[in-house]
Amino acid sequence: MPFAEQRIHQALDVGEFVPYFQPLVDLRVGSIHGFEILARWIHPDHGLIPPNKFIPLVERYGMINRLSASLLTQAFASARTLPKNFGLSINLSPSQLHDRTLPSLIHRMADEAEFDLKHLTVELTETALVDDLDLAGAVAADFKRLGIRLALDDFGTGYSSLLHLQSLPFDELKVDISFVRSMVESRQSRKITAAVISLGLSLGLQTVAEGVEEQSQANLLAWRGCTFGQGFLYGRPIPAAELLASLSQGHPGVCATTEVPASIGDPFLSLDAHPTER
Ligand code: C2E
Ligand code: CA
Ligand code: CA
- pLDDT tens profile 37-91: 999 999 999 999 999 999 999 999 999 999 999 999 999 999 999 998 999 999 9
Lowest mean pLDDT, pick from 2-16, 44-58, 125-139, 194-208: 125-139
Reported as a pLDDT band with limits 50, 70 and 90, residue 263 is low
Q: What residue's CA is closest to ligand 1, atom 8?
A: 38
Give the range with max mean pLDDT: 190-194, 230-234, 256-260. Answer: 230-234
Kindly report, residue by residue over 216-255, the tens digit of the pLDDT: 999 999 999 999 999 999 999 999 999 999 998 888 888 6
Cα–Cα distance, 42 to 52 (Å, whole number)? 14
Tell me, in angstroms, the distance from the centre of ligand 1 to residue 51's CA. Answer: 8
Whether pLDDT at 169 is above 70: yes
Tell me, in angstroms, the distance from the centre of ligand 1 to residue 86's CA. Answer: 20
CA dihedral of residues 174, 175, 178, 179 (deg, nearest 10): -170
Tell me, in angstroms, the distance from the centre of ligand 3 to residue 176's CA. Answer: 6
Secondary structure of the chain as H, E, C letters: CCCCHHHHHHHHHHCCEEEEEEEEEECCCCCEEEEEEEEEEEECCCEEECHHHCHHHHHHCCCHHHHHHHHHHHHHHHHCCCCCCCEEEEECCHHHHHCCCHHHHHHHHHHHHCCCHHHEEEEECCHHHHCCHHHHHHHHHHHHHCCCEEEEEEECCCCCHHHHHHHCCCCEEEECHHHHHHCCCCHHHHHHHHHHHHHHHHCCCEEEECCCCCHHHHHHHHHCCCCEECCCCCCCCEEHHHHHHHHCCCCCCCCCCCCCCCCCCCCCCCCCCCCCCC
For ligand 1, what atom is nearest to the CA of residue 212?
18
Tell me, in angstroms, the distance from the centre of ligand 1 to residue 17's CA. Answer: 15
Contact 93, 55 (CB under 8 A): yes
Lowest mean pLDDT, pick from 24-33, 129-138, 198-207: 129-138
For ligand 1, what atom is nearest to the CA of residue 93?
44
Whether pLDDT at 262 is above 70: no
Q: What is the mean pLDDT of the chain?
A: 90
Q: Which residue among 12, 27, 38 is best mutated to probe the pocket of ligand 1, counting the most ligand atoms within 8 A of its Cβ?
A: 38
Question: Which-ligand-closest: CA of 121?
Answer: 2
For ligand 1, what atom is nearest to the CA of residue 176?
3
Whether pLDDT at 268 is above 50: no
Ligand 1, residues at Cβ distance < 6 Å: 22, 38-39, 50-52, 55, 71, 91-93, 123, 153-154, 210-213, 230-232, 237
The model's pTM is 0.93
